[in-house]
Structure 1
C-alpha cells in the first residue's frame, strides 16, 4: 500500500489528463517524496489540496470506542462498513507513482513503482473534513487499498486501488455498488518497479 507518493509532472499536465482547469494547484512544485501528513493534490471533480491522513475525531469503532488515529490508507474490504468512515466522500489521488520498502530494519530497499511508459496513476481515495481545535476545517484524504496484483506481491502484501481513467466518474458518482465493483487489484503487466535510488527521504 502506498507509504509515499511522487508527483513530478507539471500541474498543467495533470489538469490536461483530467480535462479540468489547473485552478488553485497551479503553483504546485515537482515532488519526489510525498509523505503522510502532508498536503497532496486530489481530484474530486476539480483539483485541490488535502492533507494525506484522515483523523476521524468523534467517531467510534464497533466496540464504541473513539477512533483517534490518523488513517492514511483504508482497506477496501471494510471501508464502507466501518463506522469510522461513515459519511466519507470519494475522490482520486493522481500521482506519477509510489514507493514501497522490503528488507529488515536499517537494511531496507526502497522500490519505485510507476506506470510503464510514464503518465499518471489514479488512486481511489476517500475524503473527509476534520474540524481542528479552534474551529479550522481541514480537508483530508486517505487512499483505498486492496490485495496486490502479481507485479506488487513480491514487495508488499497490499496495494492501492488503481482506477482506469474512464472509471473516475464512476468511483466518484452516486452509485456506491458501482464504485465498490472497482475496488480490485489492477491488471498485471502495467507497472514498472525499480530500486528508488537517491531519493531524499527527509525532503520533498
Structure 2
C-alpha cells in the first residue's frame, strides 16, 4: 500500500539503500532527496577532506562537526526499517516499526551538492542516537525518531531546542520482529 506524504506517493519499497531517493520533508515542503550526503568541500576536525558518503550523522556531534556546517534540518518519514544481526551470509533481518503502525519520522540533515556541469543534487542523512530498549538487543544505534508534535520544532527551532529532541524513542513503542517472510525482490 502506498501512503502519500504531502502530495508525494512512492510505490512501496523494502530495504532502501544509500544512494536511492527518499521522501524528505523540509521547511519548503516535501521532495525526493538522495539518501547519503556527498561531502565535497567538507573537512574533518584535522582539516582533511571527508571522503566517505555520509548516510547517518551522530546526534552527539552533528551540530559540532565542521563536516556538517551549513546543513539544514529535515525529516524522513518511513513506515519502518530493517536491521540485520548475525554472521556474514547468515544474517537475520529484523523489521522495526511503530506498534500502532503509524509513520515514523526520522530526524535528518540535508544540503544540496553542486555537481559537475551545474547539476544540483538534494541529499539527506538521517541522525542516529543511542538505541531504545526495544532496539538495543539488535543494534547499538538507532535513528532519532520524532513525534508529530516535534516535527515543526525540529525544522524551525534553534540548535539548542533541536538538540533536546535528539533522544532515543520511548521504550515500548516500537515493534521488533523477525523478517524472514520478506520477499526482498518485491517492490
Question: TM-score range with shorter-chain normalisation?
Answer: over 0.9
Which range is displaced more, 190-199 or 90-99?
Answer: 190-199
Partners of 1:156 and 1:202 in 2: CA distance = 24
1:137 pairs, out of 117, 120, 128, with 120
2:150 pairs, out of 148, 167, 182, with 167
1:184 pairs, out of 156, 161, 167, with 167
Consecutive unaligned residues in structure 2, runs of 5 or more: none
Partners of 1:155 and 1:192 in 2: CA distance = 12
Q: Counterparts of 1:1-204 in structure 2 under 5 Å?
A: 9-11=2-4, 14-15=5-6, 22=7, 25-26=8-9, 28-45=10-27, 46-201=29-184, 204=187
**1:33–1:200: 8 Å Cα contact kept in structure 2?**
no
Q: How many residues matched?
A: 186
Deviation readout 1:14-47 (Å, 9 max, x if unpaired): 33xxxxxx1xx24x21112211110000111311
Q: CA RMSD in A?
A: 1.4
Partners of 2:74 and 2:108 in 1: CA distance = 5
Partners of 2:66 and 2:181 in 1: CA distance = 41
Q: CA deviation at 1:68?
A: 2.3
Deviation readout 1:81-109 (Å, 9 max, x if unpaired): 11100000001000000000110111110
Consecutive unaligned residues in structure 1, runs of 5 or more: 1-7, 16-21
Partners of 2:145 and 2:157 in 1: CA distance = 19
**1:97–1:113: 8 Å Cα contact kept in structure 2?**
yes
**Cα distance change, pair 87–203 in 1 and its aligned pair in 2 (3 A):** farther
Q: Which residue of 2 aligns with 1:19?
A: none
Partners of 1:203 and 1:36 in 2: CA distance = 18
Q: CA deviation at 1:196?
A: 1.4
